[in-house]
């Protein structure tokens, strides 16, 4: 008998800073290939939850595992390479698009070949942009580069923190469509934080609603938002 | 003008101090009119300054008559004090005192020791302490600038640093550009001192040597020696402290600790 381990499993995961409870008692499982949207009002703990999964912040209670391996068993850098994070703001590094794509693999002593660079750029619809200076990119293009930069590490889990909220309407739809195509084509497991319920409904298989750091509701789009 | 009104050294010194302090107070009132409130800082600093330097001067008179080894002790105490003052500037940085102490010890301490052994600094307590204190004070200032610049740069670039960490970067590499920038900023005064020596300013040590009868050319060359030592000790201090501080702003799990409370509570 074989059991398929979920890509992400959290067990009463929480983080408290001083008197503030940022995340509390989050227990979920995300199977391979699923897109889970995390929605909720500002200050609900959505981004704080995501930061725990990339270990940018340390959980103060509970635990989580990636493909059955407890997060403490990973050296932090290895965990971060396995769990890609795309932030609300792209925060590209000074230099060219290619230099940004090479950054993650270079951290483990690997250099991407020209065909790998082209493949990544093709996935984000920016073929031919490898020598462009990042200062010349539009907001939407910069966010596409930050998605490609995260994908360059070949993560098993992709975390998207409000990936379109800093973009204008046109760029927003383009990046959202692109993310959907990438996630479905690669059968990538993904946790996306958004304050936009319509976007959550378009992108996700399941939705988790958070408020004051706690999970209020979790289920399919229809179960959470109604038919 | 004051010389005509005040006969004794002490009276003259106090009158000069009062006049210098009143100019500082005028500056304070001008700043206040522009809504920059420095009253408390400047008043306290002026009072502290005069009390401290008078007390130290009195103690030095006694110590300077002591055996040579007391010079080393005095300088060591000065290094501890310098580390404490420098660390107060950057309370947000974890272990700032240790970083400052190791930096100033390695920078000013090693240059003083080496130059004393080589005979560049006379090991007589009357030469060792004043020259050593100049190196320590300048190393302290450079260290404060370096750490403060590093703190502000890191806090202003949390997004970029965490973007690098999130991609698996080595934590110390992710803050390397900010450590480099703070080192550069910290040694600008020492470089400018070297560049402007004799053109923009004639330092007090040279003036003192000439007044006490040293040949002016030797006094000038020795002033260059002191400024070069200040440059070396300040630079070395900041090289050490900016290297050490990179380790101290991350947790064991390579999480950036140097974030504002607002950023932490997000």
* B124 and B28, same domain (yes or no): no
* B203 and B224, same domain (yes or no): yes
Distance from C-alpha of B222 to C-alpha of B198, rounded to nearest angstrom: 12
Cβ neighbors of B11 (< 8 A, separation 6 or more) are none
* B48 and B141, same domain (yes or no): no
The verdict on ipTM greater than 0.85 is yes
pLDDT in the model for residue B208: 73
Name the residue of chain B whose CA is nearest to A17's CA.
B265
Instruction: For the beta carbon of residue A208, count every other beta carbon within 10 angstroms.
Output: 24
pTM of the prediction? 0.81
pLDDT, averaged across chain A: 91
Positive or negative, the CA dihedral B168, A66, A178, A176 is negative
Distance from C-alpha of A185 to C-alpha of A120, rounded to nearest angstrom: 13
Closest CA to A112 of A133, A126, A97: A97
* Nearest CB to A80; choose among B165, B251, B266: B165
For testing the chain A interface, which of B166, B169, B180, B249 should be mutated: the one with the most A CBs within 10 Å? B166
Please state the domain extents for chain A: 8-225
Positive or negative, the CA dihedral B113, B114, B117, B120 is negative
pLDDT in the model for residue A1: 47
Distance from C-alpha of A204 to C-alpha of A206, rounded to nearest angstrom: 5
**DSSP character string of A43-98:** TSSHHHHHHHHTTSS--SEEEEEETTEEGGGS-HHHHHHHEEEE-SS--PPSSBHH
List, for residues A189-212, the tens digit of each pLDDT value: 999 999 889 889 988 999 999 999
Distance from CA of A58 to the nearest CA of B (A): 8
Closest CA to B135 of B214, B230, B53, B223: B230
- As for how many domains chain B has, the answer is 2
Is the distance from CB of B178 to CB of B150 less than 8 angstroms? yes
List, for residues A114-157, the tens digit of each pLDDT value: 999 999 999 888 899 999 999 999 988 999 999 999 999 999 99
* B196 and B135, same domain (yes or no): yes
Distance from C-alpha of B48 to C-alpha of B43, rounded to nearest angstrom: 8
CA angle A221, A54, A195 (to 5 degrees): 35
Pick out chain B residues at pLDDT < 70: 200-203, 205, 261-266
Q: CB B166 to CB A58 under 8 A?
A: no
Considering B63, B85, B113, which residue would you say is the last residue of a domain? Answer: B63
Distance from CA of B167 to the nearest CA of A (A): 5
pLDDT in the model for residue B8: 78
The structure tokens listed for B161 are 């640093």
List, for residues A103-114, the tens digit of each pLDDT value: 999 998 999 999
* B42 and B103, same domain (yes or no): no
Range of the domain at B33: 1-63
Topology of A8-225 in CATH?
Answer: Rossmann fold (3.40.50)
Q: CB B168 to CB A57 under 8 A?
A: no
For testing the chain A interface, which of B168, B258, B264 should be mutated: the one with the most A CBs within 10 Å? B168
Positive or negative, the CA dihedral A83, A88, A91, A97 is positive
Distance from CA of A223 to the nearest CA of B (A): 29
3-state per-residue secondary structure call for chain B: CHHHHCCCHHHHHHHHHHHHHHHHHHHHHHHHHCCCCCHHHHHHHHHHHHHHHHHHHHHHHHHCCCCCHHHHHHHHHHHHHHHHHHHHHCCCCCCHHHHHHHHHHHHHHHHHHHHHHHCCCCCCHHHHHHHHHHHHHHHHHHHHHHHHHHHHHHHHCHHHHHHHHHCCCCHHHHCHHHHHHHHHHHHHHHHHHHHHECCCECCHHHHHHHHCCCCHHHHHHHHHHHHHHHHHHHHHHHHHHHHHHHHHCECCCCCECCCCHHHHCC
For testing the chain B interface, which of A57, A86, A94, A135 should be mutated: the one with the most B CBs within 10 Å? A57
Asked if A220 has any chain B CB less than 8 Å from its own CB, the reply is: no
* B142 and B31, same domain (yes or no): no
* B115 and B180, same domain (yes or no): yes
Considering B63, B81, B97, which residue would you say is the last residue of a domain? Answer: B63
Distance from CA of A220 to the nearest CA of B (A): 27
A115 SS3 class: helix
Tell me the pLDDT band of A74, cut-offs 50, 70 and 90. very high
Cβ neighbors of B13 (< 8 A, separation 6 or more) are none
* B160 and B178, same domain (yes or no): yes
pLDDT in the model for residue A87: 92
* B154 and B32, same domain (yes or no): no
Contacting B residues, span 214-253, partner chain A, CB-CB under 8 Å: 251, 253
Distance from C-alpha of B248 to C-alpha of B89, rounded to nearest angstrom: 16
Average pLDDT over residues A52-81: 94
List, for residues A82-109, the tens digit of each pLDDT value: 999 999 899 999 999 999 999 999 998 9
* B119 and B186, same domain (yes or no): yes
Higher pLDDT, B102 or A170: B102
Evaluate if residue A2 carries a pLDDT over 60.
Answer: no
Evaluate if residue A227 carries a pLDDT over 60.
Answer: no
């Amino acid at each position: 008998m074989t059991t398929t381990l979920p890509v992400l499993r959290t067990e009463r995961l929480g983080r408290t800073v001083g008197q503030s409870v940022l995340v509390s008692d989050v227990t979920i499982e995300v199977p391979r290939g699923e897109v889970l949207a995390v929605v909720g009002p500002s200050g609900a703990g959505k981004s704080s939850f995501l930061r725990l999964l990339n270990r940018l912040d340390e959980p103060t209670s509970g635990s989580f595992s990636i493909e059955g391996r407890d997060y403490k068993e990973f050296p932090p850098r290895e965990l971060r390479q396995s769990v890609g994070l795309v932030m609300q703001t792209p925060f590209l590094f000074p230099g060219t698009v290619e230099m940004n794509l090479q950054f993650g693999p270079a951290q483990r002593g690997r250099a991407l070949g020209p065909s790998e660079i082209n493949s990544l750029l093709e996935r984000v619809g920016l073929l031919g942009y490898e020598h462009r200076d990042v200062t010349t990119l539009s907001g939407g293009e910069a966010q596409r580069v930050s998605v490609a930069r995260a994908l360059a590490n070949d993560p098993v889990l992709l975390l998207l923190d409000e990936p379109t909220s800093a973009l204008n309407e046109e760029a927003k739809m383009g990046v959202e469509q692109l993310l959907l195509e990438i996630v479905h084509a690669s059968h990538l497991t993904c946790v996306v934080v958004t304050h936009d319920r319509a976007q959550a409904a378009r992108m996700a298989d399941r939705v988790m609603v958070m408020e004051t750091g706690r999970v209020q509701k979790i289920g399919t789009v229809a179960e959470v938002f109604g038919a | 003008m004051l010389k005509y009104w005040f006969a004794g050294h002490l009276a003259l010194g106090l009158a000069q101090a009062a006049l210098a302090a009143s100019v500082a107070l005028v500056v304070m009132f001008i700043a206040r009119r522009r809504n920059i409130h420095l009253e408390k800082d400047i008043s306290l600093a002026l009072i502290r300054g005069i009390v401290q330097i008078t007390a130290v001067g009195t103690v030095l008179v006694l110590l300077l008559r002591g055996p040579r080894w007391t010079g080393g002790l005095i300088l060591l105490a000065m290094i501890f004090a310098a580390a404490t003052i420098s660390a107060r500037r950057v309370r947000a940085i974890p272990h700032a005192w240790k970083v400052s102490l190791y930096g100033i010890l390695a920078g000013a301490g090693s240059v003083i020791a080496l130059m004393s052994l080589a005979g560049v600094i006379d090991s007589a307590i009357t030469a060792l302490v004043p020259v050593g204190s100049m190196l320590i004070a300048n190393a302290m200032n450079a260290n404060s600038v370096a750490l403060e610049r590093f703190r502000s740069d890191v806090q202003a670039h949390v997004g970029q640093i965490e973007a690098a960490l999130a991609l698996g970067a080595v934590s110390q590499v992710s803050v390397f550009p900010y450590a480099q920038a703070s080192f550069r900023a910290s040694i600008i005064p020492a470089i400018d001192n070297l560049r402007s020596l004799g053109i923009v300013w004639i330092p007090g040590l040279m003036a003192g040597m000439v007044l006490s009868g040293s040949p002016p050319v030797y006094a000038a060359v020795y002033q260059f020696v002191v400024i070069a030592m200040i440059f070396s000790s300040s630079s070395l201090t900041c090289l050490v402290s900016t290297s050490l501080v990179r380790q101290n702003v991350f947790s064991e799990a390579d999480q950036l600790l140097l974030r504002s409370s607002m950023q932490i509570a997000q």
